[in-house]
Amino acid sequence: MSFEKTRVRFAPSPTGPLHIGGVRTALYNYLFAKKMKGDFILRIEDTDQTRYVEGAEDYIKQSLQWLGLSLDEGPGTGGDLGPYRQSERKDLYATYAKQLVQQGDAYYAFDTPEELTAAREKAKEQGIHTLKYDATTRMTMKNSMSLTEADTNHLLQTSDNVTIRLNIPRDQTIIFKDIVRGEVSFNSNELDDKVILKADGMPTYHLANIVDDHLMQISHVIRGEEWLSSTAHHVLMYQFFDWAPPSFAHLPLILKPSGKGKLSKRDGAKFGFPVFPLEWDGGEDGVYLGFKEAGFTKEALLNFLLLLGWSSGDDIEKYTLTEMIEAFDLSRIIKSGARFDYDKAKWFNQQYIIEQSSNDLLNDVKAALSSNGVMDKDDTFILRFIELMKERVELMPDFYSKAAFFFEKPKNYDEKTIRKKYKIENQPHFDRMYTILENLAKFDAEEIQSKIKSYISDENLKFGEILPVMRIASMGTMQGPDLFASLELLGRKEVLERWNMFFQQLNN
Ligand code: GLU
């Protein structure tokens, strides 16, 4: 098989929002194309009108755009081998289906849905669980193989139910090489006579997929493992048409966090993490959270997805998009299922946040704060705040949820710490430290720390009994960045107000 150029396609069906597994497929296709200096193509597989969902195509495009996986060809992008939306190529497929009929590799079938149901029921009564339309049953059904030529011609003129099915041969071994799985083989007796052209004139996935892969000169088909068994049908069809098949690489499943079973759309809601790149309004199903809205940077999401099914073989975990292109290699795709580890995704995001300068983060942090009603802080304050918090957040919204005390007075206090650490006999000391803070020449972290610590030492107090209480008085909680730096950021007036409020409440 030789193709002049590496050309790969991402071929989603617009049946709903793009699942994170689909995003990984897009990423691996993109990386491989760029690595090989080839083309990355988007093809919208919308031949199943019953499953078409309004807005899904736009969602797919917006997701790829957000992630920076730019297209060389696709609907809206253009290219020489379009159109790239299968519904716009409808007429083309019938010609190919008829070619197969003429060659004897496919046949017309006229069974109505009711007749098929009846045949299935009958088979069940005879103990056959799932009736297969294949060489063993074909002659008992209503098709151009079982009927006379005259009957066939008559039905072709009059029936509303003309479909075309593949004529799968008996006793053949279909072998192909999968880049991930090695040699894969199927016995043709396991395959059914799949419908390739439906009664409405639309092709099914199988026909449209291989006709387009051929016409669009796709060199490598990189897709999810769920398509592996269809590949047997596809390989046979390439033989029927006498076309060179592309190379195949089937990506491992993405598993639930428990490792048991495939990660599903519903798992996101169930476990409280996103399984979609962007938010999606599912109407009656509710709104699905997106990685973007959950506060992930695109770099972190891509990095996380890279390692969900691929490994470089060394210890490197962090990759920029350029480094990914450099390092990526189809032969290092992992065979076994990849467990979705949300903590790992957050870890990546944390690394990307830490790496960015406070200035780079400014706008995103401002957005996270203002969506919580915090709008009165100037950039200088927010930049200092980012410095303090950067290493303590995993997701953008954490800048507010883990640090709301920088923007509003505590509404409640960590009772457990108070009970353990606060001693009434220390109250005069807290009062004196209040005065120290009130009179500090400069209210900065260094100055606060040196004066408070000297006081504690001079008075033979225990740091462990004083500092936690100061923290609770100022911030309400033990969680937070360095105490003295936090006090500096809050500012003298605010700290003193908070101490008044706290000690008054405590001693009432
Ligand atoms: N339309 C199929 C899907 O939705 C494409 C599978 C393939 O890449 O061949 O996943």
Last residue of a domain, one of 148, 179, 210: 210
Q: Is 493 part of the annotated catalytic residue set?
A: no
Query: Per the domain annotation, does 403 fall within a domain?
Result: no
Proportion of the chain above pLDDT 70, given as a percent: 100
Average pLDDT, rounded, for the chain: 96
Question: Which atom of ligand 1 is nearest the CA belonging to 209?
Answer: 9
- DSSP SS3 for 90: helix
Q: Name, in order, each residue with C-beta under 8 angstroms of 207's C-beta and a sequence gap of 6 or more.
A: 93, 96, 97, 196, 197, 237
In a domain, 196, yes or no: yes
CATH code of the domain containing 130: 3.90.800.10
Q: Hey, which of 211, 223, 248 would you mutate to test ligand 1's pocket, going by the most ligand atoms within 8 Å of its Cβ?
A: 223
User: Could you tell me the pLDDT band of residue 1, with boundaries at 50, 70 and 90?
Assistant: low
**pLDDT (average), residues 89-109:** 97
Long-range contacts of 305-309 (CB under 8 A, 24+ apart): 305/20, 305/23, 305/24, 305/27, 306/27, 306/31, 307/344, 308/24, 308/254, 308/338, 308/340, 309/24, 309/28, 309/251, 309/252, 309/254, 309/333, 309/334, 309/338
pLDDT at 432: 98
Residue 215: per-residue pLDDT:
98
Of 265, 318, 409, 453, catalytic: 265
Question: Per-residue pLDDT tens for 105-153?
Answer: 999 999 999 999 999 999 999 999 889 999 999 999 999 999 999 999 9
Q: What is the pLDDT of residues 20-43, one digit of tens each?
A: 999 999 999 999 999 999 999 999
Quote the number of domains for the chain: 2
In a domain, residue 487? The reply is yes
Q: Which residue has the higher pLDDT, 271 or 387?
A: 387
Tell me if 320 is assigned to some domain. Answer: no
Please report, for the domain that includes residue 491, its CATH number.
Answer: 1.10.10.350
pLDDT band at 223 (very low <50, low <70, confident <90, very high): very high
In the predicted structure, residue 460 carries a pLDDT above the cut 70: yes
For residue 270, pLDDT over 90 is answered with no
Which residues line the pocket of ligand 1, CB cutoff 6 A? 11-13, 45, 205, 209, 223, 227
Q: What average pLDDT does this structure show over 322-344?
A: 96
Q: Range of 467's domain?
A: 409-507
**Looking at residue 408, what is its pLDDT?**
96
For a mutational test of ligand 1's pocket, the pick from 209, 254, 265, i.e. the residue with the most ligand atoms closer than 8 A to its C-beta, is: 209
**Domain end among 210, 228, 255:** 210
pLDDT surpasses 90 at 347 = yes
* Stretch 46-72: mean pLDDT: 96
Q: Give the predicted TM-score (pTM) of the model.
A: 0.91
Residue 119 lies inside a defined structural domain of this protein:
yes
What confidence tens digit (pLDDT) does each residue in 110-123 have? 999 999 999 999 99
